[in-house]
Structures are given as C-alpha cells and as structure tokens.
C-alpha cells in the first residue's frame, strides 16, 4: 500500500510540475479553438485546391498535372511567403488584444502595406517561372499550361495576402467561427464556379484559377463586411495614421524569420511536386495526390499550433507568464495525442483515399506506396509546426 501511495504521489508531483495551474481548463479552451481552426483550414487551404484538382482530373492527366504543378509553385512562391509575413501580426495581435487593443488596427495597417510591397516581388517571380521550369522539364505543353495558370494567379496574390492578414486580425481575439462561415461560403462559390466553368463554358483548364480567385474575392469581402459590422471593429480598430509607417523594424524582426521558417517547412515537402515533374507524368500525378492527402491529415496539427499562438499570446499580453507557460505544456501534450491519432488514421484510410481523384490504376498504386513513407514525415513536420507556433507566441 505504501509503494502504491508513493507512486501515486510521484505521478501527482510530475503532473503538478508540468501543469502547475491545471490541465483541464487549458485543454478545453485549446481544443475548442483547435476544432474551429481545423474547420477553417479545411475550408481554406485544403478544400479549395483539392476541389479544383478533383475537377481538373476530369479533363485528363496533362491538365491535372499542370493544375497541380501551378498550385504547388504558387504555394511555394506566394502563399509560403505571405504566411511568413503574417508571423508578425500573429505574434503581436494576440498580445495587443490582451493589453492595448487599440494598437491592433495600426498593426494590421502596417502588415497590409508590407504585404503589398512583397506582392511585387512575387509577381516578378511568377511571371518568369516558365524559364525555371524549362530547365528540368521536357514536356513543353505542361510548361505552357502551368505558365498560363500562374499568370492568372497574379490576381490571387493580393487577395490571399489580405485574407491571411484579416483572418489573423479576427482570430487573435478567439473569434474563429465567423471565419469558418466565411470560408464555407467561399467554398460554395468555388464548387459552383468550377461546375459552371467546366461543364457550361469552353475555358477548360482556366476554370481552376478563375474559380479560386472568385472564392478568395468572396472570402476577403466577407471578412471585411464582418469586421465592419461587428463590435470587434469598434474596440480594436484605429483610424489610418502615419503611425502605420513607423516601427517597421519590430514587425520585420518577426516577419523575416517567419518567412524563412515558413519556406523551410513548406518547401521541404511541397518541392516533391516540382521534382516529380522532371520524372514521368504518372510520378507527378501520384505526388500531387499524396500532397493533398497528407496535407488534409496535418490540418489538426496546424490548428493546435495556431490555437496555442493565440492562447499563449493573450496570456503574455495580459502579463500572465505562469498561465502562458502552463498553456505551452498543455499544447505539447495535445500535439502528441493528435500525432498518435493521425498515425492511426493514415494506417486505416491510406488505401482508399487516392480513389477520390480520377487517375489510372498505376498512379493510384504509386500514390499508396509514397503515402506510407510521407506519413512518417508528416507526423514529425506536424510536431515541428506546433513547436514553431509556440515560439511565435513568445
């Protein structure tokens, strides 16, 4: 009996060391935010591109490959950089919400101006991407189709940046559900637009960029309308002043490392599509399927990371370092639990998931074999993303 009571006390001591302020409350709050963020990511990052590729697979392997390659390049060149730029706002906004809320409007204005300058650099890279692709790709038809899609994506760059920055402005206060509804509306527009463009017009492969651009335009307008009519706008927005042109060094000290971190994290996985393009069309198709599947399974890890950034940041902004430290340990625990769930989920469904795309039997078979190896990487990548999100909050 004494041994049992001693071991029980030791376990209790270890738990108190890890969670000095308790586990349940923080776990419940983080779980609620994680569920909402998972839905938001599923309706934004993942579903828009996946729906597009499913529709493009109906046109043929060449069109599917060109669409997948174009979206991968856009993600590598534009979205990855813009996600890094938002590191500044995602760190500062929750802290300001826990402290001086009026500074939030100035931070958003500053981040939009900086993102606007970055858009010009991204446009220049996208316009010249065909010359880079021609260095290692032999299929000129695929290169031409990819280049045409990337030129359409030029309109998407500022919309994507605005959507990311305005979403971080709303979610920094813990208001995540409105973004879920707005992105759901954007997805409905995406599906309807793909169907109309593909089956009732002759624009074929251009259905993909046009539909995604319309979706993001809907999302940006929806977010702006919500900000304008909500009470959140009244307590956090600051009229546009010269203050947004000052203190850029503070923002850039957070944003530039964020860009590098985002590039390293995303490129290490998504570059597989680009390298697969230098092999065979079947390899590119299989790799594109694997990326979409792995990305879907990893959404919950991204969600728990962003939830921790907001939750920890609000505690730090309110000058509650002990609460922030406790939330950090709870986040790591939830991340480990979700990693185990992801491994089990992939082991169960990896055989059937590739069938949602219309591809040849050889392509699906190759996708399955790649998926098993890629799943191991995705687990470590997910834990790394959570760790980076916690660092971002501090």
Please report the pLDDT score of residue 125 as a whole number: 94
Q: Count other C-beta atoms under 10 Å from residue 339's C-beta.
A: 19
Query: In angstroms, how far is CA 241 from the centroid of its own chain?
Result: 31
Confidence of residue 344 (pLDDT cuts 50, 70, 90): confident
Helix, strand or coil, per DSSP, at residue 305 = helix
CA distance 158 to 296: 25
Q: Count other C-beta atoms under 10 Å from residue 383's C-beta.
A: 17
User: Which residues, 6+ apart, have CB-to-CB distance to 23 below 8 Å?
Assistant: 15, 330, 333
Confidence of residue 61 (pLDDT cuts 50, 70, 90): confident
Whether the per-residue pLDDT at 75 is higher than 80: the answer is yes
Tell me the percentage of the chain whose pLDDT exceeds 70: 91
CA distance 87 to 251: 9
Query: In angstroms, how far is CA 113 from the centroid of its own chain?
Result: 21
Please report the pLDDT score of residue 162 as a whole number: 94
Indicate the pTM of the whole model.
0.81
**49-58, 173-182, 342-351, range with the lowest pLDDT:** 342-351
Residue in the block written with tokens 């776990």: 27
Please report the pLDDT score of residue 8 as a whole number: 58
The predicted model gives 298-325 an average pLDDT of 85
**Who wins on pLDDT, 136 or 20?**
20
Q: Which of 222, 191, 384, 225 is nearest to 305 (CA)?
A: 384
Please report the pLDDT score of residue 302 as a whole number: 85
The predicted model gives 311-320 an average pLDDT of 83
Whether the per-residue pLDDT at 9 is higher than 60: the answer is no
Q: Which of 186, 191, 151 is nearest to 55 (CA)?
A: 191
The predicted model gives 234-241 an average pLDDT of 77
Alpha-helical regions (H) of the chain: 2-18, 24-41, 47-56, 61-74, 80-97, 103-127, 129-133, 140-152, 156-171, 177-200, 207-229, 231-236, 248-276, 281-297, 299-317, 321-349, 361-393
The predicted model gives 93-108 an average pLDDT of 81
């Amino acid at each position: 009996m004494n041994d049992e009571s001693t071991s029980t006390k030791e376990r209790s001591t270890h738990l108190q060391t890890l969670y000095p302020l308790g586990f349940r409350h923080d776990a419940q709050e983080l779980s609620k935010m994680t569920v909402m963020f998972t839905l938001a990511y599923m309706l934004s990052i993942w579903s828009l591109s996946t729906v597009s590729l499913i529709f493009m697979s109906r046109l043929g392997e060449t069109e599917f490959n060109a669409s997948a390659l174009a979206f991968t390049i856009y993600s590598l060149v534009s979205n990855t950089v813009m996600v890094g730029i938002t590191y500044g706002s995602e760190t500062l906004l929750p802290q300001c919400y826990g402290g001086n809320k009026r500074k939030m409007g100035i931070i958003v204005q500053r981040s939009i101006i900086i993102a606007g300058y970055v858009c010009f650099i991204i446009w220049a890279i996208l316009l010249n991407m065909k010359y880079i692709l021609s260095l290692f790709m032999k299929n000129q038809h695929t290169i031409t189709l990819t280049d045409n899609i990337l030129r359409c994506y030029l309109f998407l760059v500022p919309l994507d940046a605005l959507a990311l920055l305005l979403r971080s402005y709303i979610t920094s206060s813990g208001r995540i559900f409105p973004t879920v509804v707005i992105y759901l509306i954007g997805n409905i527009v995406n599906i309807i637009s793909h169907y109309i463009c593909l089956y009732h017009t002759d624009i074929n492969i251009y259905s993909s960029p046009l539909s995604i651009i319309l979706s993001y335009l809907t999302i940006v307008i929806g977010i702006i309308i919500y900000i304008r009519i909500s009470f959140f706008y009244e307590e956090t927005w600051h009229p546009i002043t010269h203050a947004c042109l000052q203190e850029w060094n503070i923002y850039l000290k957070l944003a530039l490392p964020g860009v590098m971190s985002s590039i390293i994290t995303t490129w290490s996985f998504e570059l597989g599509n680009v390298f697969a393009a230098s092999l065979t069309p079947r390899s590119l198709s299989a790799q594109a399927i694997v990326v979409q599947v792995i990305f879907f399974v990893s959404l919950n890890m991204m969600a728990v990371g962003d939830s921790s950034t907001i939750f920890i940041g609000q505690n730090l902004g309110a000058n509650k370092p002990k609460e922030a430290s406790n939330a950090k340990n709870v986040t790591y625990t939830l991340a480990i639990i979700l990693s185990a769930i992801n491994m089990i989920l992939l082991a169960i469904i990896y055989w059937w998931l590739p069938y949602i795309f219309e591809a040849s039997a050889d392509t699906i078979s190759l996708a399955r074999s790649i998926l098993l190896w890629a799943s191991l990487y995705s687990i470590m990548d997910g834990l790394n993303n959570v760790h980076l999100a916690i660092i971002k909050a501090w």
